[in-house]
Structure 1
Amino acid sequence: MKLRGFTLVELMVAVAIISIVASIAIPQYSNYVRRSDRADAIVPMARIMEAQERYYADNVTYATDLKDLGYSTTTLTTEQERYVISAQACGSAPLTQCVELVATAQDTQALDGNLIMDSRGKKERKLGGSTYKWN
């Protein structure tokens, strides 16, 4: 009578192969999810910037308080609560020339950095001391 089955060595080889594949795939998947979750901030930032341009057309200045644009709070927490969006003057430029929207990443999304959009068309992602383009 011949017994059929897997040996311990065969099982250990299979476990090792699965472990190697998982150690590569899981971090890549996590990065992909974080990148795709940027849409949670990009869409509302575009809407806020449109409201800023309408506000500028009427008042010849931009607003740092989102309440001035019709929102219920001074900052906006995105729908999935991955970002908090606020408005501020661009660097050394006055509000009559430029406004900058900053989406501050929350919780695990913080590993992807903060998103910045300004009225001059700049779109950046800041992570630590480094600055990257949106992609």
Structure 2
Amino acid sequence: MVKKASGFTLIEVMIVVVIIGILASIAYPSYIDFVTRSNRAEAHAALMKVANLQEQYYLDNRKYTSSMSDIGVPVSTASNYYEISTTVASGGFTTFAKVVSSSVQKRDTQCQEMSINDKGEKKPSECW
């Protein structure tokens, strides 16, 4: 009675490893792109929220404010990856989102700082 050995050969295991490597090399850049776009979307949402709150503050007080606490937005909770700030000059405001996370700085070199102002102008345009 001869018993037949069962299992995988080394070549079969290596073929599976190569296939997994090829799939990972295709999927990882797509994943990084998705994460970068989702971080930008979070910054866009935070910028739009602050801009809307600035407009509400303007309706109530007939002026914009440079203090985030006046409009009820703690800076630490505005965004996880971006620092949100606002400046008031010549009767208008500009709200900025600047990258503070080192992982986002490495991945998203194009959009290190984004802004929106009281006229609705969004800069840089390629980041929106």
State TM-score, norm by structure 2: 0.73
Within 2, Cα distance between the matches of 1:57 and 1:102? Answer: 21
Look up the SS of the partner of 2:94 in the other structure: strand
1:52/1:62 contact within 8 Å kept: yes
1:51 aligns with 2:53: yes
Structure 2 residue aligned with 1:77: 76
Are the structure 2 counterparts of residues 95 and 65 from structure 1 closer, same or farther at C-alpha, using a change threshold of 3 Å?
farther
Kindly indicate which of the two structures has a greater share of residues assigned to strand: 1
Q: How many residues align?
A: 121
| Structure 2 spans left out of the alignment, 5+ residues | none
Within 1, Cα distance between the matches of 2:115 and 2:5? Answer: 65
* Superposed displacement of residue 30, structure 1: 2.0
| Structure 1 spans left out of the alignment, 5+ residues | 126-130
Look up the SS of the partner of 1:78 in the other structure: helix
Within 2, Cα distance between the matches of 1:56 and 1:80? Answer: 23
Structure 1 residue aligned with 2:104: 109
Look up the SS of the partner of 1:116 in the other structure: strand
Higher relative contact order structure (alpha carbons within 8 Å, sequence separation ≥ 6): 2
Are the structure 2 counterparts of residues 80 and 58 from structure 1 closer, same or farther at C-alpha, using a change threshold of 3 Å?
closer
1:55-78 residue CA offsets vs partner (Å, 9 max, x unmatched): 333555432222343445xxx123
Q: Note the 1:1-135 alignment, pairs <5 A.
A: 1=2, 2-71=4-73, 76-78=75-77, 81-89=80-88, 94-96=89-91, 98-107=92-101, 108-110=103-105, 111-112=107-108, 113-125=112-124, 132-134=126-128
2:46/2:79 contact within 8 Å kept: no
Which protein shows a greater Rg? 2
Moved runs in structure 1, 4+ residues, more than 6 A? Answer: none
1:78/1:85 contact within 8 Å kept: no
Of all paired residues, the percent bearing the same amino acid is 34
